[in-house]
């Protein structure tokens, strides 16, 4: 048996995988995820991949709403929608937010920290369906990812790059394993740093972002990594 861990390895989940590891081959989705519980035996670290052909390539000039940067994620302090709005505003950029907000904690965070920041230059779109999300990603000048937690991976990073859109992110969790600083986006230490790098976003070649998903972060590589692991386990 082989199983992939998709959540953070802490507390109860870590105890579960400590009990399973050995008879069960455990796959981690990033080195950052694995580092949270280094005593758990891991058979392989296999990064996610995407089929780039399923994502539209945009030029970052926006849509009928005009030029914008984008935040996509849960309404959570860890994800940092409020930080994204503040960075965009300080940089003189319009921001659109597409975020899940179903749980009471998400609704409370939105009411307390995000809604007071909204205005003509910061618009909450709600939780958008997949095709609309792809169009938003393709049209964005950049995606802002100001997380403050040990995120195991972050699929929106790949989705943005597949659309040719660079990402500005804090180097938390698996982010440094996904974003190539200066090539597919910028790793920013804090909000001040993100404001500075956002002013230089046009230095990023959007074609390089797409190529990262056509290359290492492709489903072809991901599948090959899994097949290699299965063959090793069977032998």
In terms of Cβ atoms closer than 10 Å to its own Cβ (0-12, 13-18, 19+), residue 222 is middle
Q: Nearest to residue 184, comparing CAs of 142, 137, 136? A: 142
207 membership: H or E segment, kind and range: helix 206-214
Q: What percent of the chain has pLDDT over 70?
A: 99
| Mean pLDDT on 21-39 | 94
Give tens-digit pLDDT for 81-126: 999 999 999 999 999 999 999 999 999 999 999 999 999 999 999 9
Task: Quote the pTM value.
Answer: 0.94
Report residue 96 CA to chain centroid gap: 16
Give tens-digit pLDDT for 174-219: 999 999 999 999 999 999 999 999 999 999 999 999 999 999 999 9
User: Which domains occur in the chain, in start order?
Assistant: 2-49+218-234 (no CATH), 52-214 (3.40.50.2000)
Q: What is the distance between the terminal CA atoms of the chain, rounded to a whole angstrom? A: 14
Four-CA torsion 162, 166, 169, 174, nearest 10 degrees: 30
């Amino acid at each position: 048996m082989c199983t992939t861990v998709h959540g953070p390895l802490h507390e109860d989940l870590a105890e579960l995988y400590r009990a399973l590891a050995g008879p069960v081959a455990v796959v981690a989705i990033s080195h950052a995820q694995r580092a949270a519980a280094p005593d758990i035996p891991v058979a392989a670290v296999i990064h996610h991949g995407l089929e780039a052909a399923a994502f539209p390539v945009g030029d970052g000039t926006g849509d009928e709403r005009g030029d914008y940067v984008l935040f996509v994620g849960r309404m959570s302090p860890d994800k940092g929608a409020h930080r994204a709005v503040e960075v965009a505003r300080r940089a003189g950029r319009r921001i659109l937010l597409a975020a899940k907000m179903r749980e009471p904690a998400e609704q409370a965070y939105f009411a307390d920290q995000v809604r007071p920041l909204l205005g003509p230059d910061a618009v909450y779109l709600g939780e958008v369906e997949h095709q609309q999300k792809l169009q938003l990603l393709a049209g964005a000048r950049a995606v802002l990812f100001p997380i403050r937690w040990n995120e195991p991976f972050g699929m929106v990073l790949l989705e943005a790059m597949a659309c040719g859109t660079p990402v500005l992110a804090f180097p938390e969790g698996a982010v440094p394993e996904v974003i190539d600083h200066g090539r597919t986006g910028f790793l920013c230490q804090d909000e001040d740093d993100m404001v500075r790098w956002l002013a230089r976003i046009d230095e990023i070649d959007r074609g390089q972002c797409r190529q990262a998903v056509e290359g290492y972060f492709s489903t072809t590589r991901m599948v090959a990594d899994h097949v290699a692991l299965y063959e090793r386990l069977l032998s």
